[in-house]
Structure 1
Amino acid sequence: MSDIRHIVFDIGRVLIHYDPEIPYRRLIPDDAQRRWFLENVCTGDWNIEQDRGRRWEDAEALLIAEHPQEEENIRGFRRHWHEMVPHAYDDSVAMLETLIDAGHDVTMLTNFAADTFAEARERYTFLNRPRGVTVSGEVRLLKPDRAIYDIHVESFGLEPAATLFIDDSEKNVEGARDAGWQAVHFSGAEKLRSDLAGYGFAV
């Protein structure tokens, strides 16, 4: 029997696809220009601050002041965000729902802006099935900061050593382990199925 009593899923690139390049293939058709924009203007480091709780208005104003000629493309990030999450990973969702239907305790811990997460929850109703979720943009902390794992434990009454975390980011997996959790790196449905089986969960 597994010692795991709590299973915690990340969301982006584990349950739903995320690719910020998708709308920009239309907005900036030239490959080199698009790559420059995403590497130098609307970067991952810029976007993660919205996941930490920064308002989109403030984030846009910051970049527009630095790159006024790119204003429309900068505003396009939030405006076309829904295109960046085009589909769920059906196999991962099936495992999530199988675990829930079997009576296991399932929650979610995600780096996500509060407003875009609310939109995702409306589009992907399976995100409402777990017992609850800690959203970085709401608590203003990011994985792999130790504090966000501790907040999740406290919020949902988890025992760290009896908690299994699933995330596509190696550093977030390491963050969970540093917080005393068990954790596995997500790289696809078949590996996740195998990892869960190793802990005694048939999905």
Structure 2
Amino acid sequence: MIRNIIFDVGKVLVSYEPDAYMQRLGISKEKQKKINEAMFQNKLWDTSDQGLGTPDEFLQKFIAGAPELADEITKIHKTVGNTVELFPYAMEWILDLKARGYHVYILSNYSENMLDQTKDKLKFLPLMDGVVFSYKIKKIKPDPEIYEYLCDEYWLEPEESVFIDDRPVNIKGAETCGIHGIVFRSYEQAKKELDEFLKEF
């Protein structure tokens, strides 16, 4: 029997669009590419999600990757919450699952800086039965330890739990720990797969 539905946040319950935000700021394609390499697509981004440093320390490291764009990187870092918006369906989806008796949880790779700037947008957080953000426990998906932490912290049985994430590698990490997984490609697709899965179990 399935009792627990676990959600990723970015690109599942909220949008995450760094390029669109940089475009709104009037940053050229050439500069966007350099900023992505120094920041959003840099391995340091994962390290910041893992909480292995302070937001200010990461800002300096991002700038070091493209010193000539220090002003742009600083502005983006201080307003990075503008890359995220709550999807219109998110609250309804979670409220529906709770009304049907399921427990709902968050398991997300998320940095301190990003959470500080977006927590007001994550209106679903008060509805959750448990929340794990990677930076707080210094572990990131798909490391098995982050899934094990969630299960231990909230007394979840892996086989009674379903995890929804947009990255197949993170779903594989969950399945390694015995948690069922659904790869999120769209709301309609994921909701349909989840509903069919819940009927089956």
* Fold-level similarity (TM above 0.5): yes
Query: What SS class does the counterpart of residue 199 from structure 1 fall into?
Result: helix
Sequence identity percentage:
24
Please tell me the residue identity of whatever aligns with 1:83: N
Distance in 2 (alpha carbons) for counterparts of 1:185 and 1:47: 22
Please tell me the residue identity of whatever aligns with 2:171: V
2:40 pairs with 1:43: yes
Please tell me the residue identity of whatever aligns with 1:72: D
Instruction: Identify if the C-alpha distance between structure 1 residues 29 and 66 changes in structure 2 by more than 3 Å, giving closer, same or farther.
Output: closer
- The Cα shift of 1:61 comes to 1.6
Alignment of 1:56-95 (within 5 A): 56-85=55-84, 87-95=85-93
Contact residue 10 and residue 109 of structure 1 kept, 8 A: yes
- The Cα shift of 1:104 comes to 1.1
Corresponding residue number in structure 2 for 1:103: 101
Please tell me the residue identity of whatever aligns with 2:76: F
Please tell me the residue identity of whatever aligns with 1:76: K
In the superposition, the TM-score normalised over structure 1's length comes to 0.89
Instruction: Identify if the C-alpha distance between structure 1 residues 33 and 143 changes in structure 2 by more than 3 Å, giving closer, same or farther.
Output: same
Is 46-55 or 28-37 further displaced after alignment? 28-37
Instruction: Identify if the C-alpha distance between structure 1 residues 120 and 60 changes in structure 2 by more than 3 Å, giving closer, same or farther.
Output: closer
Please tell me the residue identity of whatever aligns with 1:99: L
RMSD, matched Cα? 1.7
- The Cα shift of 1:125 comes to 1.9
Corresponding residue number in structure 2 for 1:195: 193
Please tell me the residue identity of whatever aligns with 2:50: R
Query: What SS class does the counterpart of residue 41 from structure 1 fall into?
Result: helix
Please tell me the residue identity of whatever aligns with 2:74: R
Distance in 1 (alpha carbons) for counterparts of 2:57 and 2:38: 14
Query: What SS class does the counterpart of residue 198 from structure 2 fall into?
Result: coil
Distance in 2 (alpha carbons) for counterparts of 1:178 and 1:151: 14
In the superposition, the TM-score normalised over structure 2's length comes to 0.90
CA deviation profile, 1:35-88 (whole Å, cap 9, x unmatched): 2331x2113222221111031211122233443222112212321212101x22
CA deviation profile, 1:85-133 (whole Å, cap 9, x unmatched): 1x22222432111111222111110000134224423223222211110
Aligned residues: 197
Query: What SS class does the counterpart of residue 184 from structure 1 fall into?
Result: strand
- The Cα shift of 1:28 comes to 5.0
Contact residue 162 and residue 181 of structure 1 kept, 8 A: yes
Corresponding residue number in structure 1 for 2:168: 170
Q: What are the ranges of 5 or more consecutive residues in structure 2 without an aligned counterpart?
A: none
Distance in 2 (alpha carbons) for counterparts of 1:194 and 1:67: 44
Contact residue 92 and residue 189 of structure 1 kept, 8 A: no
Distance in 2 (alpha carbons) for counterparts of 1:48 and 1:183: 22
